[in-house]
Structure 1
Amino acid sequence: MAKARNKRSVTIARHRTSISLEEPFWDALTGMARDDGKSIAGLVSEIDQARTDKGDGTSLSAALRLYVLERMKRGQTGNS
C-alpha cells in the first residue's frame, strides 16, 4: 500500500506553489533545511532553480525526492 502524499504550499520565485510529497520526504527536507540554516522554502527554491537550470523536464516533486535521495546517499540525512 502506497503512503499518502501530503500537499504543502511554499513560495518560490515570488509565487505560491503546492507540492505533493510523502511525509518521510517532507521530514527529510525539513531536517536538511534546518541543518543548512535555511527555511523549507529557501531549500525548495534552491532545488527548483537547479532543476530549472538543468532544463530536463523533471517535475519539482521528483527533483525534491532525488535531492533527498542524493543527500541521504552522501550521509547528510537531516536527522541531527
Structure 2
Amino acid sequence: MSTSESDEGARYRRTVTVSGRRTSISIETVVWDGLEDISNREELTLAEILTLIDQRRLGSSLASAVRVFVLFYFRTIADIAQPLIRAANKPSAAHDSDDSHVPLTPPNTLPGLLDKVLERFATTRAELTTRGRQDH
C-alpha cells in the first residue's frame, strides 16, 4: 500500500540543523505543520525548537521525539484553555454586563507555555523510560 502526498500520514523529509549539526528528519506533513506553528507561536526558529527537543529526548529517535513534543504542546494548550472555555460557557447571573464573560487568551500569548511543555515532555519521557526498564 503506497501513501500519496495528499494523505495525512504522508511523510516529508527535511534537512535541518539540530544542536549545531545538520541532520535529516522524516516525519508526517501534519507534524511538520504543527512544528512550524509552534515555531511561529514561540518566535523561535525551527532549529531552536528542534534543539530544545533534542536536548530532552531519551533514547528515542529525533523524529519520534518531535511527534511526541508536538502532541504535548497542543495538549498543554488544550489543558490551559479548557477551564477558560468552561468559564466562558457557564451561565452568568449578570448576562448584560460586559464583565460577565471570560476573555479567551490566544494560545500564542500564554505565559511560559514552552517551558511548561518542555518540562512535561522531559518528565513524561523519563517516567516512560523508567517504567519500560522496570517491565523488562
TM-score bin, normalised by smaller chain: 0.7 to 0.9
- Per the alignment, residue 5 of structure 1 pairs with 11
Q: 2:48 aligns with which of 36, 42, 65?
A: 42
The answer to which structure has the higher strand fraction is 1
Structure with the greater alpha carbon radius of gyration: 2
Map residues 1-80 of structure 1 onto 2, 5 A cutoff: 3-51=9-57, 56-75=58-77
What is the TM-score of this pair, normalised by structure 2?
Answer: 0.50
Query: What is the deviation of 1:15?
Result: 1.4
Aligned-CA RMSD value: 1.9
Query: What is the deviation of 1:33?
Result: 0.7
Unaligned runs of 5+ in 2: 4-8, 79-106, 109-136
In the alignment of these two chains, the number of paired residues is 74
Query: What is the deviation of 1:12?
Result: 1.6
Q: Which amino acid aligns with 1:65?
A: R
Instruction: Name segments (4+ residues, structure 1) moved above 2 Å.
Output: none
Query: What is the deviation of 1:14?
Result: 2.1
State percent identity of aligned pairs: 36
Q: Secondary structure at the match of 1:74?
A: helix
The answer to which structure has the higher helix fraction is 2
